[in-house]
């Protein structure tokens, strides 16, 4: 690959959520700070939302690694599309609880309750992180709320962090889970990067990957990456990786706008992305063209 060519120890733009590449831009660092403060204050429910590819899973892993494991016991559920009983079993497995194969929901809840009480007695806080919660059935969300009813006079025995796409907000507007929505004490929203953040993001990742040189992306390449990705980190990574490959294939040490264009042509998802003003410009252009054709047709009809 191109690692030696650009002086890198590892590939800088993989799409796996590697916490060593966490970029502390404004919205991601703010969300991380909010999560850590909420955990220390003993809040019950915290919600983090963001569009596809904005780094929710990476933030979740960074958050879990930032917790002091002398004080916190954590459980991570990556796929919460589960029925209530299955979710409880998944949490029990994450907490390494032993239970008989034929356990019913009543006894499983008692087992989890006893575990939470014992953890509190040992000054441990239990945190459950759920990813992709927009896919969770409503009855499962409600069972999760019932599990968090356990509390002392000062704080909850179980703290839950929900990560999901913006559709999660629509699901929480359902009347059947209105009690859960009222218990969400902190809410964060991850946003795409702007042009300045993309430039810093690219520099950050290549330096973490081992580069001691200046950023290999020319200013025109950065702007083209922004227009094609809409500032979404996952798309930036895909396009930046392919752009480096394109430059490497030519023996170039600077990624230019042309290399990015080649990466865009090879990436289907980039064609429909872009900042809102780019989409607006295209929309206005189409409307203008249609209007011009209509006027032309009227004029032609009059002369005909």
* Pairing relationship of beta strands 72-77 and 125-130 according to DSSP bridges: parallel
Let me know if 142 is exposed, middle or buried by CB neighbors in 10 A (0-12, 13-18, 19+): middle
Question: d(Cα 168, Cα 36) in Å, to the nearest integer?
Answer: 22
Q: Are residues 54 and 97 in the same domain?
A: yes
pLDDT for the residue 152 = 67
Q: Can you give the CATH number for the domain in which 224 is found?
A: 1.10.8
Strand partners, 151: 156
pLDDT for the residue 92 = 95
Q: Hey, CA dihedral for 40, 41, 47, 51, is it positive or negative?
A: negative
Looking at the structure of the chain, the number of domains it has is: 2
| Backbone phi and psi for residue 230, each to the nearest 5 degrees, phi listed first | 65, 15
Note the pTM of the prediction, 2 decimals: 0.84
**How many CB atoms are located within 10 Å of the residue 70 CB?**
7
Q: Are residues 102 and 231 in the same domain?
A: no
Task: Look at residues 282, 80, 248, 42 and name the one whose alpha carbon lies nearest to residue 158.
Answer: 42
Let me know if 59 is exposed, middle or buried by CB neighbors in 10 A (0-12, 13-18, 19+): buried
The tokens for 101 are 């194969």
Domain stops at, among 138, 157, 190 = 190
pLDDT for the residue 215 = 86
Question: d(Cα 304, Cα 294) in Å, to the nearest integer?
Answer: 15
Question: d(Cα 217, Cα 257) in Å, to the nearest integer?
Answer: 9
Q: Are residues 153 and 262 in the same domain?
A: no
pLDDT for the residue 294 = 45
- Is residue 9 in a domain? no
Task: Look at residues 301, 207, 252, 201 and name the one whose alpha carbon lies nearest to residue 7.
Answer: 207
Q: Are residues 78 and 182 in the same domain?
A: yes
For the chain, list residues with pLDDT below 50: 272-304
Instruction: Check: CB of residue 183 under 8 Å from CB of residue 26.
Output: no
Q: Are residues 73 and 101 in the same domain?
A: yes
Q: Are residues 186 and 224 in the same domain?
A: no
pLDDT for the residue 203 = 95
pLDDT for the residue 140 = 92
**CA torsion 82→83→84→89, rounded to 10°?**
-60
Domain stops at, among 156, 190, 224 = 190
Domain stops at, among 190, 208, 225 = 190
Question: d(Cα 59, Cα 34) in Å, to the nearest integer?
Answer: 12
Q: Which domain holds residue 48?
A: 26-190
pLDDT for the residue 148 = 79
Q: Can you give the CATH number for the domain in which 55 is found?
A: 3.40.50.300
């Amino acid at each position: 690959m191109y690692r030696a060519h650009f002086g890198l120890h590892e590939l800088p733009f993989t799409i796996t959520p590697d916490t060593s590449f966490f970029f502390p831009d404004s919205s991601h660092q703010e969300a991380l700070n909010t999560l850590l403060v909420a955990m220390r204050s003993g809040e019950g429910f915290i919600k983090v939302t963001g569009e596809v590819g904005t780094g929710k899973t990476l933030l979740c892993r960074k958050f879990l690694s930032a917790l002091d494991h002398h004080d916190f016991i954590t459980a991570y559920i990556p796929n919460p599309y589960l029925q209530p009983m299955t979710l409880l079993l998944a949490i029990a497995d994450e907490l390494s609880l032993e239970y008989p194969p034929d356990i019913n929901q009543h006894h499983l809840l008692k087992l989890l309750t006893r575990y939470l009480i014992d953890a509190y007695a040992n000054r441990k806080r239990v945190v459950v992180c759920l990813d992709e919660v927009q896919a969770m059935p409503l009855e499962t969300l409600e069972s999760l709320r019932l599990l968090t009813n356990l509390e002392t006079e000062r704080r909850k025995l179980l703290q839950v962090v929900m990560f999901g796409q913006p559709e999660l907000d629509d699901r929480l507007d359902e009347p059947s889970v209105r009690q859960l929505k009222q218990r969400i004490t902190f809410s964060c929203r991850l946003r795409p990067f702007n042009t300045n953040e993309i430039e810093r993001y690219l520099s950050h990742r290549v330096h973490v990957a081992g580069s001691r040189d200046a950023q290999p992306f020319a200013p025109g390449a950065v702007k083209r990456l922004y227009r094609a990705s809409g500032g979404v980190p996952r798309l930036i990574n895909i396009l930046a990786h392919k752009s480096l490959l394109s430059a490497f294939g030519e023996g170039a040490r600077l990624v230019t706008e042309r290399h990015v264009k080649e990466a865009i042509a090879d990436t289907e998802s980039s064609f429909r992305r872009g900042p809102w003003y780019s989409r607006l410009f295209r929309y206005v252009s189409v409307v203008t063209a249609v209007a011009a054709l209509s006027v032309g047709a009227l004029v032609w009809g009059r002369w005909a």
